Amino acid sequence: MFRKKNTAGVNSNEIRAILDEKKAKMKLSLKACAHCSLCAESCFLFMGHNKDPKYMPSYKFLNSVGVLYKKKGNVDKLDLGEMRDLVWERCVLCTRCYCPIGIDIPDMLALARRICRSQGVYPQYDRE
Amino acid sequence: MALSHIFSWTFIYDFIRGPMVWISFIIFFCGVVFQVLRFMYLLKEQPVQKLEPGPGNIIHSQTVSHVKVDRVKTGWFKKGWFKKGPDKKDWMLWVKLSIAGVNPFMTIVTTIFHVLLIGVPVFVLGHNILLDNAFGVSMVSLPENVSDFLTGIVIFCTLIFLFRRLFLDRVKIITSYADYFFLSLAAAPFVTGYLAYHQVFSNYKLLISLHMLSGELMLMAVPFTKFMHMIYMIIVRFNVAGEYSFGNATKNW
Ligand code: SF4
Ligand code: SF4
């Protein structure tokens, strides 16, 4: 879907700089992910939400770090808002997810959180 | 060499079954070595408390030593006579919670698929004859009807993967076009080999060329594309410390 980006308030250089710190691991992990969905059941939030695929660990990391990397940090507040929902509201970073290939999914989600935080995007506890 | 000659059928055929084989093997091996070295460079030694895989061991590890102390203090069995390791029930729970326990069907399918994906090409009679012609050495070969049957199983497994991608929401949601492409690329050498062996189409030469070409493309793709999960899995599992690592993994990245 194409919509006009409003990149005000987002410093994509800063995002890129953070991505670069973990570039090698992130790139290799994104590439190695076979999109197999076998990690799904290892996340208790996936199990607790009627096995909603949007709670799959791989879905969360591919749509946060994966998108940030693909777009080279050129995202806007709306994108980051969606990522906030992914990495805070659909993940508690309990580090129990398990990938048969050995991808460190929690580390990737933590990276996405860090990037959100660097852009002033935080979890909203006052929201329903 | 005239251009018409380069694009001629015989030239392409000879190229695919000649130099291209060597090129793809060289790219494959160099690529794998490069990626392995890169991994080893990225992984840093970082001694951490290694938790043995399996249930119950956490009680005995240093990180939760206070638990141990409490236990020891509580009774006369502190000498460890009754030190309880994980019993059968713990192991059963552990297996039940693992991917094999949660998803036994996919575990079996994917294990069979990956073993055969590597095993069948190595032990197929036709490949060993070529190997014998080239170097005078060869591996033991499977009887032809067995390798034929196993090839059928590989194709069947890829069909299962394909149906999962197409119809299962949880796989669909993370599927990209590249996944279909690489699944086809993995299946192509087997499908073409199968068809060529059974001489389904009269044009054997075309099929066998496609067979060689797809096999070569696949080999070359392993170190640089999605197929690199093969390298990733082995390197990470044996080196990065974690409760699911194999052996004495002590690194981190
Ligand atoms: S993170 Fe691992 S288990 Fe999950 S989809 Fe990717 S490769 Fe499969
Ligand atoms: S770290 Fe997040 S994704 Fe992984 S199991 Fe915990 S809640 Fe699920």
Q: Please state, for a pLDDT cut of 90, what percent of chain B lies above it.
A: 51
Q: What is the dihedral of CA B67, B69, B70, B76, to 10 degrees?
A: 130
| pTM, rounded to two decimals | 0.85
Q: Give the model's pLDDT for residue A67.
A: 94
pLDDT band at B8 (very low <50, low <70, confident <90, very high): confident
A36 contact residues in B (CB cutoff 8 A): 106, 110, 171
How far lies B202's CA from each of B188, B195, B208, B214, in Å?
18, 10, 11, 20
Using CB atoms, pick whichever of B103, B232, B253 lies closest to residue A41: B103
pLDDT band at B45 (very low <50, low <70, confident <90, very high): confident
**Residues B165-186: what's their mean pLDDT?**
95
Q: Give the model's pLDDT for residue A109.
A: 95
pLDDT exceeds 50 at position B191: yes
Task: Take atom 8 of ligand 1 and give the residue whose Cα is closest.
Answer: A36
Mutate to test the interface with B, among A23, A35, A111 (most CBs of B within 10 A): A35
**Residues B139-163: what's their mean pLDDT?**
94
pLDDT exceeds 50 at position B114: yes
Q: Choose one of A59, A88, A96, A103 to mutate for the ligand 2 pocket test, by most ligand atoms within 8 angstroms of C-beta.
A: A96
pLDDT exceeds 70 at position B85: no
**Residues B138-149: what's their mean pLDDT?**
90
Closest residue in B to A46 (Cα) is B170
How far lies B111's CA from each of A31, B34, B153, B231, in Å?
21, 26, 12, 16
Q: Give the model's pLDDT for residue A7.
A: 73
**Residues B189-194: what's their mean pLDDT?**
94
Question: Cβ contacts of residue A72 below 8 Å, gap of 6+?
Answer: A12, A16
ipTM of the complex: 0.89
Q: Give the model's pLDDT for residue B65.
A: 40
| First-to-final CA distance of chain B | 52
- Phi-psi label, residue A93: left if phi above 0, alpha if psi -120 to 50, beta otherwise: left
Handedness of CA B181, B182, B185, B191 (dihedral sign): negative
DSSP assigned state of B240: B
pLDDT band at B134 (very low <50, low <70, confident <90, very high): confident
Q: Give the model's pLDDT for residue A5.
A: 73
Task: Flag if A53 and B228 touch (Cβ within 8 Å).
Answer: no
Q: How far is the CA of A22 from the centre of ligand 1 (A)?
A: 19
| Residue A56 Cα: closest atom of ligand 1 | 4
- CA–CA dist B36, B233 (Å, integer): 11
More confident residue, B168 or B87: B168
Question: Cβ contacts of residue A34 below 8 Å, gap of 6+?
Answer: A101, B226, B229
- CA–CA dist B111, B121 (Å, integer): 16
**Could you read off the pLDDT of A56-81 as tens digits, one per residue?**
999 999 999 999 999 998 998 889 99
**Residue ranges of domains in chain A:** 33-118
DSSP assigned state of A42: G
pLDDT exceeds 90 at position B78: no
Q: Return the closest-CA partner of residue B103 out of B115, B92, B93, B95.
A: B95
Q: Give the model's pLDDT for residue B61.
A: 46
Name the most confidently modeled range: A26-30, B78-82, B85-89. Answer: A26-30
DSSP assigned state of B75: S
**Could you read off the pLDDT of A88-117 as tens digits, one per residue?**
999 999 988 989 999 999 999 999 999 999
**Residue ranges of domains in chain B:** 3-47+98-252, 56-97
B117 contact residues in A (CB cutoff 8 A): none
pLDDT exceeds 50 at position B141: yes
pLDDT band at B27 (very low <50, low <70, confident <90, very high): very high
pLDDT exceeds 80 at position B55: no
Is B199 at the interface with chain A, CB within 8 A?
Answer: no
Mean pLDDT, chain B, as a whole number? 84
The alpha-carbon gap from A90 to the nearest alpha carbon of chain B, in Å, equals: 15
Q: Give the model's pLDDT for residue B63.
A: 46
Q: Give the model's pLDDT for residue B154.
A: 97
CATH number for the segment(s) B3-47+98-252:
1.20.950.20
- CA–CA dist B199, B206 (Å, integer): 11
Q: Give the model's pLDDT for residue B75.
A: 45
Q: Are A90 and A97 in contact (CB under 8 A)?
A: no
Q: What is the residue type of B53?
A: P
Is B102 at the interface with chain A, CB within 8 A?
Answer: yes
Task: Flag if B174 and A37 touch (Cβ within 8 Å).
Answer: yes
Ligand nearest to the CA of A42: 2
B225 contact residues in A (CB cutoff 8 A): 31
B110 contact residues in A (CB cutoff 8 A): 36, 38
The alpha-carbon gap from B107 to the nearest alpha carbon of chain A, in Å, equals: 9
Q: Tell me if A108 CB under 6 Å of ligand 1.
A: no
